Amino acid sequence: MKLAVFVSGRGTNLLNIIRRNKDGFIRSEVRLVISDRDCEAIENSERAGIRTKIADPKSYAGEREFGDVLLEVLKKNEIDFIVLAGFLKKIPDVVIKSYANRIINVHPALLPSFGGKGMYGMRVHQSVLDYGCKVSGATVHIVDTEYDHGPVVLQKCVPVSENDTPDSLASKIHQLEYELLPEAVRLFENNQVTIKGRKVVISAEGFNRT
């Protein structure tokens, strides 16, 4: 598959996907990197020779215009699949409709807990600690029209210790993200995923998504 990866910051998950393509774990290549701001991930992508696009929603008249711009650049680059890797803006509905069941996001908690609008980065980890959870983790899910709402593809958890801070918990969960995102991409590229309502079924053998 030809991937577009959406980022808003350093892009460590992006770099990991590129690495897993080079080492043969996934066949899908990053064809395009999109960000809502000029950031380290954009700089690294340009140095690696990957096409980039900065598209800030605030620069457009509304969601539809923003969505149309995104669709234009996605189609121009023949993108098959979209990975959200730390992208902090909501994907316009027109893009979600055009790429139905072909957009995934990684969230640094075990959804449906600690998700939704405004729940990102250290806010998530601080909320987990404040609640007194004994485990946390990472979730890869299908993107729909609500924040952190789509069907869960993969999840993995880690223990939360009494000495954990938001930074130490984030470090643990980043390692899970590095495992889960490439694995999810591999499942989709091998047609091992089907979606039935809110349930994602993963097959040992490939079949078409519905």
Task: Give the chain's radius of gyration (CA, Å).
Answer: 17
Could you say which DSSP state residue 57 is in?
G
Name the active-site residue from 107, 141, 149, 174.
107
Helix axes 122-131, 166-189, angle to 10 degrees: 110
| Type of residue numbered 105 | N
Query: Can 141 be counted among the known catalytic residues?
Result: no
| Type of residue numbered 52 | T
What SS3 state is found at 56? Answer: coil
Do residues 173 and 184 lie in contact, with contact meaning Cβ atoms separated by under 8 Å? no
Largest CA distance in the chain: 50
| Type of residue numbered 16 | N
What SS3 state is found at 108? Answer: coil
* Distance (Å, whole) CA 18 – CA 22: 6
Which sequence positions are flagged as catalytic?
107
